[in-house]
């Protein structure tokens, strides 16, 4: 009974909604969960980001295990991304710690970075077909060494962005990988991106956890709703056109970005 007393139905329903949308679109976990916690529930930006990072590491671990079992993950791509993202995350966390930035300053920065990240995520979703037609062939023709360097650089950018705002590992990561590896099947790109997100969100989340920024009961409530939501969505996703899902999610992210920035 004491456990049920701590589970908040509003957070459970929010987790279900986000889980359902993530299951339908494949992206949007951090893009939706963090703004939802900030704007709807009044959670501080730092605590919202920290909670979402641990939430993402748990939910994406399950997806990674399934993809690994089906041999869909390109571990070489994952290793390249992690080579850039994990140090990027650690450096960002250490910078916050050693500079001792005031909590209000951190909250304001997170809100701004989150708004900008959501804007670029929505733009990437809208322009993905054009980006693929314009740049995929060009980038796909680069040398192996250049592709490796670009992948590590992409990982570093994602590491900083995800650690600050919890946004970027999904839509931005997938879009970058599609451009860098146009010959790699989409399912393997998505699987590799999910696998890479697990250690990244775990490292960033643990860094925030050390500072006491995570509400564990809030996390439990979100997971209680999101896991069934993701499972249910998997039954409906194949029936809906990709463009409808992509543009709907992009519209939601643009609205949220506007509210955060203005």
DSSP 116-148: HHHHHHHHHHHHHHHHIIIIIHHHHTS-HHHHH
pLDDT of residue 216: 78
The pLDDT of residue 86 is above 60: yes
What is d(CA 112, CA 40) in angstroms, rounded to the nearest whole number?
A: 17
Average predicted confidence (pLDDT) for the chain:
81
DSSP annotation of 239: G
The yes-or-no verdict on residue 4 having pLDDT over 50 is yes
Domain count for the chain:
1
Interval 8-38: pLDDT, tens: 888 999 888 887 777 666 566 677 888 888 8
Q: What is the pLDDT of residue 101?
A: 62
Minimum mean pLDDT among 144-148, 164-168, 203-207: which range?
A: 164-168
Domain range for 51: 2-261
Mean pLDDT, residues 200-220 taken together? 82
pLDDT surpassing 80 at residue 3: no
Does the pLDDT value for residue 224 go beyond 70?
yes
Q: What is the number of helices (H) and of strands (E) in the chain?
A: 12, 0
Query: Can you give the pTM of this predicted structure?
Result: 0.78
With a cut of 70, say whether residue 175 has pLDDT above it: yes
Tell me how far apart the alpha carbons of residues 136 and 171 are, in angstroms, rounded to a whole number.
16
- Taking the C-alpha atoms of residue 245 and residue 26, their distance in angstroms, rounded to an integer, is 10
Residue 116 has pLDDT above 80, yes or no: yes
Mean pLDDT of 232-259: 73
pLDDT tens for each residue of 32-75: 888 888 888 888 888 888 888 888 888 788 778 877 888 889 99
Helix 186-210 with 75-99: angle, nearest 10 deg: 20
The mean per-residue pLDDT over the stretch 185-212 comes to 84
Give the separation between CA 50 and CA 37, rounded to whole angstroms: 11
Q: Would you say residue 178 has pLDDT above 60?
A: yes
Give percent of the chain with pLDDT exceeding 90.
15
Other beta carbons within 10 Å of 239 = 7
CB atoms within 10 A of CB 13: 14
What pLDDT is attached to residue 102?
Answer: 58
20 and 33 in contact (C-beta within 8 Å)?
no
Residue percentage of the chain with pLDDT more than 70: 84
pLDDT value at position 91?
A: 94
Q: What are the distances in angstroms from CA 193 to CA 2, 50, 73?
A: 38, 20, 8
Mean pLDDT of 118-132: 79
Rounded Cα distance between 188 and 238, Å, is: 17
pLDDT bracket for residue 1 (50, 70, 90):
very low
């Amino acid at each position: 009974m004491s456990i049920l007393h701590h589970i908040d139905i509003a957070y459970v329903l929010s987790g279900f909604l986000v889980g359902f949308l993530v299951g339908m679109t494949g992206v949007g976990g951090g893009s939706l969960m963090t703004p939802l916690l900030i704007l709807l529930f009044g959670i501080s930006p730092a605590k919202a980001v920290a909670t979402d990072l641990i939430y993402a590491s748990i939910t994406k671990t399950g997806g990674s295990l399934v993809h690994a079992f089906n041999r869909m993950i390109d571990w070489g791509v994952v290793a390249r991304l992690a080579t850039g993202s994990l140090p990027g995350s650690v450096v960002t966390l250490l910078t916050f710690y050693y500079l001792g930035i005031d909590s209000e300053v951190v909250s304001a920065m997170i809100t701004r970075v989150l708004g900008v990240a959501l804007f670029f995520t929505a733009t990437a979703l809208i322009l993905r077909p054009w980006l693929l037609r314009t740049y995929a062939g060009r980038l796909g023709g680069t040398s192996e060494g250049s592709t490796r360097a670009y992948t590590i650089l992409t990982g570093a950018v994602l590491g900083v962005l995800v650690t600050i705002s919890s946004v970027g590992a999904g839509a931005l990561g997938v879009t970058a990988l599609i451009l860098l590896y146009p010959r790699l099947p989409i399912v393997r790109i998505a699987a590799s991106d999910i696998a890479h997100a697990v250690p990244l969100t775990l490292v960033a989340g643990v860094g925030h956890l050390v500072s006491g920024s995570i509400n564990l009961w809030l996390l439990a409530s979100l997971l209680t709703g999101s896991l069934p939501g993701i499972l249910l969505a998997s039954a409906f996703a194949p029936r809906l056109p990709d463009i409808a899902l992509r543009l709907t999610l992009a519209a939601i992210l643009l609205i949220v970005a506007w509210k955060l920035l203005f």
